[in-house]
Structure 1
Amino acid sequence: MDIRAICASTPQLSGLVFAAEDFSLDLSLTRTPSLTEFLFARQTIVAAARAYNLDSAIDLVCTDYKDTGPTGPLVRECQGGAGMGFTGKQCIHPSQVEVVQRLFAPSTERVRDAVRLLCAERKAEGLGKGSWALDGKMIDRPVIEAAKAIVAKAELAGMEVQGLWGEFKDVGPE
């Protein structure tokens, strides 16, 4: 129950994993397709991982290992988990690996937007601006740090990022 004690007392800890089936057993829950019975626990895992600067928060396993199609449960669970802040997902079958890797990596569009924003940030910084606008949206430190995290994640996933810096080198703040 005290995730803070777990995180604080284990200096070697590098991440947290949500074991939904164990959690279901312990609380006598019935797993549903919506996964709402796990919402509090999943949010707690992600928040604790961030609060304690852990590298990973791994989401629950998708027990339906056969349906890896674009509208199947694995895709829905990956999209939900990534949107919630999880950095990955447990796999129980090799057929799940490609889908999970693809859906937890940032999209090409997000990477392009992040590099473009960071190019504009370089110019804004040179102008002494702490916050500024790009495409009609306010940009400040949290937005910049999020863009840096997207680029770092893309690089870890082996995505092509280097060429984008040249493509957006002339972008500046509004």
Structure 2
Amino acid sequence: MPASSSPFLRRAMLYVPASSQRMLTKSLGLTVDTVIYDLEDSVNAEVKAEARDALYQHLRRLPAKPPHVSEIAVRVNNARSPFIEKDLKLAASSFVVDTVIVPKVSNIGDLREVSHILKNLENKHFKDAREKPLRVMAMIESARAIMNLSSIVRGPRLNGLIFAAEDFALDLSLTRTPDMSEFLYARSALVTAARVESIPSLIDLACTSYKEKDGLDQLEKECQNGRAMGFNGKQCIHPSQVNMVQRYFTPSEKELEWAVRVNIADEKAAAEKRGAWGLDGRVIDRPVAARAKAIVGRAEKCGLDVDGLREKWKDQEPE
């Protein structure tokens, strides 16, 4: 069964090629929600084994996760590749790895195969090394995957979906444009299908621009667009993208203040057995109140001062 919650924020998920010792070392000093050590697209086929061994040595030297990294994930090769069993064995062997990212998922069978391998590894070989089973996130990269989303979201261990724009564009012969309109249907379908099964993490496409003002402007535009569509995180390909991405996928001060006011007033309205009520001239009904509650919950996970705002607005009344 898929998971309906996650202990990880996953606002920014940063790829680190396992084939680069320099980048593996640099990753230990990063401040980011999730580091994804990559064994797939950023590693050439002829050096897959060397990259896997380098990552194994890197992980075994870690006494714990780096202090400013919440989650460590490993992007393995796809479920039908000849590398999958060795990749999963590496991930399962390390107590600091939380999550496996499975690329090119096209149907629920891919997730079942990965879960089956992981179960055998965890039970037979690494039972003492792991306190909890590895979580799984699926990368959606093809037309077939979009058509099979209704079953993919019921996959075992599934804890999140990631939209992979470049492979999707390749599969459909699309030309990627700055406004991303060519991905609108696929991204909407992903968010909608995930919500049906309460999949907690919905991670948007990576911005391929990261240099100078034009790159940051495009990243900002993509963050705004992704959040508006219902994504709650974004893939990053360069450390310079992380701060902006995590800021945009954190509730803003204005947004949080509104949500706290709604929460406080809604509690008072409920005590008075009122249904819809008003705030600042706008109607607040059940869906709006639920959205405000979700914003406050996410803000608490992000470490924002929710208690201070509750004290500030403790006298808020429903109109």
Q: Provide TM-score, normalisation by structure 2.
A: 0.53
Question: Are 1:125 and 2:285 counterparts?
Answer: no
* 1:3 aligned residue: 149
Structure-2 change in CA distance of 1:143 and 1:14 (3 Å): same
* TM-score, normalising length: structure 1: 0.95
Asked if structure 1 preserves the Cα contact closer than 8 Å seen for 2:269 and 2:318, the reply is yes
Describe how 1:9-28 pairs up with structure 2 within 5 A: 10-28=155-173
Q: Do the aligned partners of residues 5 and 130 (structure 1) sit closer, same or farther apart at CA in structure 2, a change above 3 Å counting?
A: same
Spell out, residue by residue over 1:38-74, the C-alpha distance to the aligned partner (whole angstroms, 9 max, x if none). Answer: 1100111111121110101100000002146796100
For these two proteins, the number of residue pairs brought into alignment is: 173
Structure 1 contact 7–52 (Cα < 8 Å) conserved: yes
Q: Secondary structure at the match of 1:30?
A: coil
Whether the 8 Å contact between 2:276 and 2:286 is mirrored in structure 1 is yes
Give the partner amino acid of 1:55.
P
Does 2:218 align with 1:73?
Answer: yes
Distance 2:296 2:283 in 1: 20
Is residue 40 of structure 1 aligned with residue 185 of structure 2?
Answer: yes
> Displacement, 1:11?
2.9
Partners of 2:213 and 2:231 in 1: CA distance: 19
Q: Who wins on radius of gyration, i.e. which is larger?
A: 2
Partner of 1:50: 195
The 3-state SS of whatever aligns with 1:72 is helix
Aligned pairs (5 A) from 1:95-134: 95-134=240-279
**Equivalent-residue separation in structure 2 for 1:110 and 1:68 (angstroms):** 26
**Cα 1:135/1:70, change in 2 over 3 Å:** farther
Aligned partner letter, 1:7: V
Does the CA contact (< 8 Å) of 2:209 and 2:215 recur in 1? no
Give the Cα–Cα distance (whole angstroms) in 2 for the partners of residues 11 and 142 of structure 1.
30
Kindly indicate whether the alpha-carbon contact (under 8 Å) linking 1:78 and 1:89 is maintained by their aligned counterparts in 2: yes
Structure 1: state its 5+ residue gaps.
none
Give the structure 2 partner of residue 140 of structure 1.
285
1:144 to 1:70, Cα distance in 2 relative to 1, 3 A: farther
